[in-house]
Amino acid sequence: MITGKNCIGGTWKADGNIEFRTINPKLNIENPTVFLEATSQEIEEAAGSAWKAFKVFRKMSGAKRAKFLNAIADEILALDQELVETYMLESGLPEGRAVGERGRTVFQLRSFANLVENEDWRENTFDAAEPDRQPIPKADLRKTMIPLGPVAVFGASNFPLAYSTAGGDTASALAAGCPVIVKSHPMHAGTSELVAQAIVRAAEKTGMPVGVFSNINGGIQAGVDLVSHPKVKAVGFTGSIGGGRALFDLASKREEPIPVFAEMGSINPVIISSDAIAKRGSDLAKTYAGSITLGTGQFCTNPGLLLTVKGNATEDFIQELAKETIAIDPQCMLHPNIKKGYETKGENVISQSGVAVVGRFDGKLDSNYAPSIIATVSGSDFLKNPKMHQEVFGPFSLVVQCTNDTELIQIIDGLEGQLTGTLIAEQNDSLDLVEIVEALQNRVGRIIYNGVPTGVEVCPAMQHGGPYPASTDSRFTAVGTHSIKRWVRPVSYQSFPTGLLPEHLRS
Amino acid sequence: MITGKNCIGGTWKADGNIEFRTINPKLNIENPTVFLEATSQEIEEAAGSAWKAFKVFRKMSGAKRAKFLNAIADEILALDQELVETYMLESGLPEGRAVGERGRTVFQLRSFANLVENEDWRENTFDAAEPDRQPIPKADLRKTMIPLGPVAVFGASNFPLAYSTAGGDTASALAAGCPVIVKSHPMHAGTSELVAQAIVRAAEKTGMPVGVFSNINGGIQAGVDLVSHPKVKAVGFTGSIGGGRALFDLASKREEPIPVFAEMGSINPVIISSDAIAKRGSDLAKTYAGSITLGTGQFCTNPGLLLTVKGNATEDFIQELAKETIAIDPQCMLHPNIKKGYETKGENVISQSGVAVVGRFDGKLDSNYAPSIIATVSGSDFLKNPKMHQEVFGPFSLVVQCTNDTELIQIIDGLEGQLTGTLIAEQNDSLDLVEIVEALQNRVGRIIYNGVPTGVEVCPAMQHGGPYPASTDSRFTAVGTHSIKRWVRPVSYQSFPTGLLPEHLRS
């Protein structure tokens, strides 16, 4: 059922001659399907088709778009084991994760369907006319949100479903009335094609215009073609800083620059107070061993940096954290390249002066299974060396031992932008929690108190984004219903007769 | 009272040696004050001082920031005739305009003061915890908006008050909790300094931190220094496409890219139906002659393009429009360079093949007084030649005579992004108004029905922005209370104890 073809506005095509196959990272062998990268001409057709669809799609009622989104959810569920198995073969992730991520994907689609069932999400704003105002009358003004146009979505390597083909970017863009062209992630092109098939079926069943969705196979050139195309009006991306920044640069240099929301790297600092360590160090070690290794550490909210204050109890805690972490069975990474990146970047951090490895899984490991690593360094060494501030994507965490609270806050202030920051503390903690929260809040998008950063709830109050390089625009979120704001713009109607106003602005 | 110095976080300095003076455009002579351009070191100090201030300012209550904004309004009014006269000397604009624009400036400051008196503007969002949810509990999440950091504001040549030193960008940024560094427009550096003095007095009287405001004199290099500075976190600009785009490019290339909201050029298409011309052609000619020449055509919403459908009545209308337009006494432009730009750009359009001048003021004109021009061209010629689509900043309008409705809509679809679009029509018009509105809405930020685009109301439902190149980000507005959204970003608090939450998120 997986053809290896590109979906160009509902038609499956493979005119190109550049072939590739996905990899089963557990066995380190290629999966059987041969995929054909989309040609420039096919991308051109997808963009043209999306633009045509936009003219119809943007006028459709929210109820119709909601039906489409719900139908996508239904069709994804109908793929059943074929989807789950393809997902596992292409990602090395376990069945429970596949099923969980599918559930999240379906939930996101249905959340956006609910959101656009009525028109309140458009932030409709009304200013009544004041014909008698002096010195000049005030006109009637009504404002609403309209979609930007076709959106290019880049699938994420680490979330083949929830942040990929029918993930949050696609769901929010379609909900807003924007056609979507997905550049599938080459590591899970089969999963992407199955989901694309589900979307096409849903589009046909609910009477959507041809071109409302396309799915492109390809690498860097396909991404460049898409982001440069004049008919593409916005970009959604989840992935590395290098990749996101390249797309941002490309989009900014266009004759007509377009917004890029790229959610990128993060080391997600966790501040653990000495009081918390004294009171529940063992529990924290267990909890954080779990969070650090969850999904083989391949989450953008993985806690890669733990900030503590020096002391005997802290040293014991670090030992225990290392013990608990390496006691967890290593799991397989998504791809040999991800494994290679983990090794290189991990090595880069632990080879820095002052860094000591506290624990490192040293059993025998098959193919792409990753050894978890806990390392430690002093606050002053960390402050001096920005190379230690870089993300190590995988089951790795660096524990910084600060001399005192001042140094700890200095470290927070000096960090690059982050998706999350976490504060582990006690009531009446001796740490100045107000100061810590103040410092954290200016470096991150979300602050968690006495919890773990992994696990990103899909709800209106979620902020999944943050100052650069956590994202390219900290004013938006990638997760939750507010993520729809990325793809819309306001338009005002002045002194309009009722009949010409959009229906939801009439009263 | 005007010193020619730079205000560096409340201290008046002039360490540099590059001097300039402003010009009285009516007399075409230099005004007496010598201004000193800020040095790189002074800009460095302004940024450092703004960053320090940010750490205090961002924590201040909305009520305190409101007091500051109201005090700025009071201090501006207290400048009285000195401000009005300086404004007139530097801009050539008449006293009525000076007083009106001061009123608008004061109104904007007070509107933002009202807005931030309470915390509702922060789009506070609450998701309650669901500890019993299966399969995993849902955490309590609360989201609010926090300021981005110091904002660089560039004064606009055509609004020495309302879009400059204490204009909409400054008022909204201060309201949000962002310190502001203004790069004053060199054409009205004296007006800017007076307003800067008012802001500094207001800051002192209301106990604001040193560095909350700076005012920099200078040209391109000062702008480059400011936008490149790592402590500057956002940019507000009103002016030409060339200037706005240069700042946008600079900001996008930074190691940490920052948002630039540049409100730039626009020709503000006006669609005038044949039915409207038949019924009230003479009235429309009078109204539009007024709108085209208002403020010597130096408004970003000036109607530079009128789209009509060919016919005898249309020809009569164009003749009448030209007659009415040139009957209005020419006024002085802001600066010799603006006058030169008007001549060059106007000449460029009227020299294109197919363009005919219908009316051009040909009386004697002093110094920088501008002759109004009405020109006309066929729809097919206009479609073929994008040079005719360029803004001619001044009392100029090009009337396009389309063969039919289809051509008219084709022209709208082919336009670059615009701030406004206007539709002049009758009830039961023979023009397909629904189609026109649909086409317009995808090219503009605001649509006016049976009115004129000039006059931008300051209210929540206003959208002053639009697709590129009307602005660099169509998702935001430059005018109205929603313009505060440009300078803030969401932050979420997960599972927070009440005492650590910002006060407005506690219940």
User: What is the tens place of the pLDDT at every residue in A324-345?
Assistant: 999 999 999 999 999 999 999 9
Give the bridge partners for B305, in sequence order. Answer: B269, B398
Does A300 qualify as catalytic in the annotation?
yes
Q: For chain B, say whether A366 makes contact (Cβ under 8 Å).
A: no
Determine the pLDDT at residue A465.
97
Q: Are A201 and A68 in contact (CB under 8 A)?
A: no
pLDDT for residue A316 is more than 90: yes
Determine the pLDDT at residue A201.
98
Q: Do A444 and B125 touch (CB under 8 A)?
A: no
* Binding-face residues of A in 234-273 toward B, CB within 8 A: 248-249, 252-253, 256-257, 259
Please tell me the total number of residues recorded for chain B in this structure: 507
Q: How far is B498 from chain A (nearest CA, A)?
A: 11
* Binding-face residues of A in 29-88 toward B, CB within 8 A: 58-59
Determine the pLDDT at residue A422.
98
Q: Do B127 and A457 touch (CB under 8 A)?
A: yes
Chain B partners within 8 Å of A490 (Cβ): 445, 463, 465, 475, 477, 482
Q: Are B216 and B226 in contact (CB under 8 A)?
A: yes
Mean pLDDT of chain A: 97
Interface test with A, best of B449, B471, B477, B503 (most A CBs within 10 A): B449
| pLDDT tens profile A257-296 | 999 999 998 999 999 999 999 999 999 999 999 999 999 9
Q: Are A430 and A400 in contact (CB under 8 A)?
A: no
Ramachandran area for residue A297 (φ above 0: left; ψ -120 to 50: alpha; else beta)? left
* Binding-face residues of A in 436-465 toward B, CB within 8 A: 437-438, 441-442, 444-451, 455, 457, 459-463, 465
Chain A partners within 8 Å of B252 (Cβ): 248-249, 252-253, 257
Q: For chain A, say whether B467 makes contact (Cβ under 8 Å).
A: yes
The nearest alpha carbon in chain B to A426 belongs to: B497
pLDDT for residue A498 is more than 90: yes
Per-position pLDDT tens, chain B of length 507: 999 999 999 899 999 999 999 999 999 999 999 999 999 999 999 999 999 999 999 999 999 999 999 999 999 999 999 999 999 999 999 999 999 999 999 999 999 999 999 999 999 999 999 999 998 999 999 999 999 999 999 999 999 999 999 999 999 999 999 999 999 999 999 999 999 999 999 999 999 999 999 999 999 999 999 999 999 999 999 999 999 999 999 999 999 999 999 999 899 999 999 999 999 999 999 999 999 999 999 999 999 999 999 999 999 999 999 999 999 999 999 999 999 999 999 999 999 999 999 999 999 998 899 999 999 999 999 999 999 999 999 999 999 999 999 999 999 999 999 999 999 999 999 999 999 999 999 999 999 999 999 999 999 999 999 999 999 999 999 999 999 999 999 999 999 999 999 999 998
Chain B partners within 8 Å of A131 (Cβ): none
The nearest alpha carbon in chain B to A435 belongs to: B500
pLDDT for residue A135 is more than 90: no
> What are the C-alpha distances in Å from A277 to residues A273, A311, A428, B24, B364?
6, 10, 14, 70, 85
Q: Do B444 and A125 touch (CB under 8 A)?
A: no
- Looking at the annotation, which residues of B are catalytic? 263, 300
The nearest alpha carbon in chain A to B470 belongs to: A256
Taking the CB of residue B246, how many other CB atoms lie within 10 A of it? Answer: 17
Q: Are A156 and A164 in contact (CB under 8 A)?
A: yes
Determine the pLDDT at residue B283.
98
φ, ψ of residue B144 to 5 degrees: the values are: -145, 175
CB-nearest to B139 from A127, A142, A457 is A457
Q: Do A438 and B475 touch (CB under 8 A)?
A: no
Chain B partners within 8 Å of A493 (Cβ): 446-447, 449
Q: Do B491 and A127 touch (CB under 8 A)?
A: no
Q: Confidence class of residue A245 from pLDDT cuts 50, 70 and 90?
A: very high
Q: For chain B, say whether A130 makes contact (Cβ under 8 Å).
A: no
CB-nearest to B462 from A141, A449, A461 is A141
Determine the pLDDT at residue B326.
97
Average pLDDT, integer, range A10-20: 96
Q: For chain A, say whether B494 makes contact (Cβ under 8 Å).
A: yes
Q: Do B467 and A447 touch (CB under 8 A)?
A: no
Q: Do B459 and A146 touch (CB under 8 A)?
A: no
From A262, A239, A261, A272, select the one nearest A453 (Cα to Cα).
A272
d(CA A412, CA B270): 53
- Show the tokens assigned to B7: 């205000």
Chain A partners within 8 Å of B253 (Cβ): 249, 252
Q: Confidence class of residue A178 from pLDDT cuts 50, 70 and 90?
A: very high
Determine the pLDDT at residue B507.
86
Q: Confidence class of residue A413 from pLDDT cuts 50, 70 and 90?
A: very high
Chain B partners within 8 Å of A451 (Cβ): 139, 494-495
Chain B partners within 8 Å of A492 (Cβ): 445-447, 461-463
Determine the pLDDT at residue B421.
98
Q: For chain B, say whether A99 makes contact (Cβ under 8 Å).
A: no
DSSP 3-state of A374? strand
The nearest alpha carbon in chain A to B493 belongs to: A447
Chain A partners within 8 Å of B437 (Cβ): 500
Q: Are A305 and A340 in contact (CB under 8 A)?
A: no
Q: Do A477 and B490 touch (CB under 8 A)?
A: yes
Determine the pLDDT at residue A507.
86
Amino acid identity of residue B17, one-letter, is N
Q: Do B500 and A475 touch (CB under 8 A)?
A: no
Average pLDDT, integer, range A294-302: 95
> What are the C-alpha distances in Å from A205 to residues A51, A69, A75, A182, B277?
21, 11, 10, 20, 47
